[in-house]
């Protein structure tokens, strides 16, 4: 299955790398979000590749679901995570693909591909996590005062209000606070030990599914709470920080 996920992520990433820098058509603008034609195009490309390799699976994604109801494997896809960055020609976005075992509801593998840096993060439950084929581990820093913490800015007003409160806390107490605009890459960076923690309220499953298994397989801790249906509060870290992250 990992082969199909990597093939799909590289194909979509290649398309996004070529599209980067051009005027990208939007299908929808809301107060704190944009949807691009490329979102749907990349999702169709990814679904096609996944279903070609695994016709018995189902695909759930930001731009809609397809596939067999009751399928044993569910792909959870964010074709572009960091859409606002891409729309503004900021080269920090990725493709995120996870596979979930329908019976246990456990994420069994995750692939996150950053096409601008050609960085491929992969993890298989029980086997480890890698960046471009090299094993990765979460950071060993244990003091919040030494930590670089990413706080994601979600889209709804209540999650933005919550985030602003976190800014006051982590802006003052962490070594440095970051808001980079891609939840999936934030999780991949926690897995790789680049970030010490990532916190966000109001994310969707497709934003975090692949990163979830990456962080855990790299030795980290994911605290996930479903605040309202389909919207999650996430706190990812090494589990070593000397401060209750929330």
Minimum Å gap between C-beta 179 and ligand IPD is: 8
CA–CA separation, 11 and 17 (whole Å): 10
- Can you say whether residue 202 is alpha, beta or left, with left for phi > 0 and alpha for psi between -120 and 50 degrees? left
8 Å CB contact between 51 and 97: no
φ/ψ (deg, to 5) at 196: -90, -25
Q: Does 209 bind ligand IPD (CB under 6 A)?
A: no
Q: Does 81 bind ligand IPD (CB under 6 A)?
A: yes
Minimum Å gap between C-beta 97 and ligand IPD is: 13
Which CB, 143 or 155, lies closer to ligand IPD?
A: 155
Minimum Å gap between C-beta 104 and ligand IPD is: 26
CA–CA separation, 195 and 87 (whole Å): 24
8 Å CB contact between 13 and 25: no
Work out which of 63, 74, 207, 217 binds ligand IPD, going by CB under 6 A.
207
C-alpha closest to that of 50 among 4, 101, 105, 114: 4
Site for ligand IPD in 149-168 (CB under 6 A): 152-155
Q: Does 16 bind ligand IPD (CB under 6 A)?
A: no
Which CB, 207 or 216, lies closer to ligand IPD?
A: 207
Element (H, E) at 242: none
| Closest residue to ligand IPD using C-beta atoms | 183
Minimum Å gap between C-beta 119 and ligand IPD is: 16
Contact positions toward ligand IPD, by CB under 6 A?
62, 78, 80-83, 152-155, 181-183, 200, 203, 207
């Amino acid at each position: 299955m990992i082969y199909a996920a990597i093939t799909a992520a590289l194909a979509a990433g290649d398309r996004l790398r070529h599209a980067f820098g051009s005027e990208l058509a939007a299908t929808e603008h809301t107060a704190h979000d944009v949807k691009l034609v490329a979102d749907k195009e990349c999702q169709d490309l990814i679904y096609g590749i996944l279903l070609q390799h695994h016709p018995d699976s189902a695909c759930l994604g930001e731009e809609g679901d397809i596939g067999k109801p009751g399928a044993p494997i569910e792909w959870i896809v964010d074709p572009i995570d960091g859409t606002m960055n891409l729309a503004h020609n900021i080269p920090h976005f990725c493709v995120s693909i996870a596979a979930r075992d329908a019976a246990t509801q456990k994420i069994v593998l995750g692939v996150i591909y950053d096409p601008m840096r050609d960085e491929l993060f992969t993890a298989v439950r029980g086997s480890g996590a890698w960046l471009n084929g090299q094993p990765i581990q979460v950071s060993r820093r244990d003091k919040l005062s030494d930590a670089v913490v990413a706080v994601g800015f979600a889209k709804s007003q209540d999650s933005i209000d919550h985030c602003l409160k976190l800014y006051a806390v982590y802006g003052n107490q962490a070594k440095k606070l970051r808001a980079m605009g891609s939840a999936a890459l934030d999780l991949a960076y926690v897995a790789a030990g680049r970030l010490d923690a990532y916190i966000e309220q109001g994310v969707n499953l497709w934003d975090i599914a692949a990163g979830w298994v990456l962080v855990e397989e790299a030795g980290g801790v994911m605290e996930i709470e479903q605040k309202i249906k389909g919207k999650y509060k996430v706190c990812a870290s090494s589990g070593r920080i000397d401060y209750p992250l929330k």
